[in-house]
Amino acid sequence: MKKRVAILISGRGSNMTALIEAAKAKDYPAEIALVVSNRPDAPGLSRARSAGVATAVVDHTRFGDERKAFEHALDAELQKNRIDLVCLAGFMRLLTPWFVTRWSGRMLNIHPSLLPQFKGLHTHRRALEAGVKRHGATVHFVVPEMDSGPIVAQDSVAVREGDTEETLAARVLELEHKIYPRALRAVAEGRT
Ligand code: GRF
């Protein structure tokens, strides 16, 4: 039985698209059953719909400061769709320990750096400022502490002379699109 996966997005959804594409393969151990966005205007939503994937919006602004109520609504959407695994892909809400614990060992995130380096935002700019020779992306299980948790997949590119935040980000994004499907396969097959 293929694992039923939900992808959580907030924006353009290029990693989401990479996962949807990978899951089209007959032998892929997971199916993308649902895409959920916390933003009604996320461009990724229409990309998901045109790929024939069910979508839902759980708009965090409707819940004001009630983070817990937002997460309960999110969780209800996942339960309703009988989701086994969750992939965060550019999902820009911090999740509380309640939600993270509930999905412990069943929720992945992709982060655009070689964790544990450069947790948080603006990773490409910070990598250039630090003068690192290699930079990359990491897929990891989600734990309550942000951008931490057991690493499932990681890959890197060389930083080139003259790289800008944009050129470096573009090369890392290509890597992301390769490692996320690989990591999800490993998790869905129980190889972690
Ligand atoms: C990616 O760089 C991902 O690593 C980070 O947010 C970005 C999302 O891009 N968490 P996309 O929406 O998948 O195109």
- How high is the pLDDT of residue 178? 98
Confidence tier at 16 by pLDDT (50, 70, 90): very high
70-82 pLDDT, tens digit per residue, is 999 999 999 999 9
112 lines ligand 1 (CB under 6 A): yes
Q: What is the CATH number of the domain that holds 171?
A: 3.40.50.170
Confidence tier at 9 by pLDDT (50, 70, 90): very high
74-116 pLDDT, tens digit per residue, is 999 999 999 999 999 999 999 999 999 999 999 999 999 999 9
Rounded mean pLDDT, 102-131: 98
13 C-alpha to center of ligand 1: Å?
7
Q: Which residues are annotated as catalytic?
A: 111
63 C-alpha to center of ligand 1: Å?
24
- How high is the pLDDT of residue 192? 84
18-69 pLDDT, tens digit per residue, is 999 999 999 999 999 999 999 999 999 999 999 999 999 999 999 998 999 9
Ligand 1, residues 14, 19, 94, 175: which to mutate, most atoms within 8 A of Cβ?
14
Domain of 54, in residue numbers: 3-188
- How high is the pLDDT of residue 168? 98
Confidence tier at 17 by pLDDT (50, 70, 90): very high
In angstroms, rounded to a whole number, what is the distance separating the alpha carbons of residues 118 and 74? 28
* Number of domain units in the chain: 1
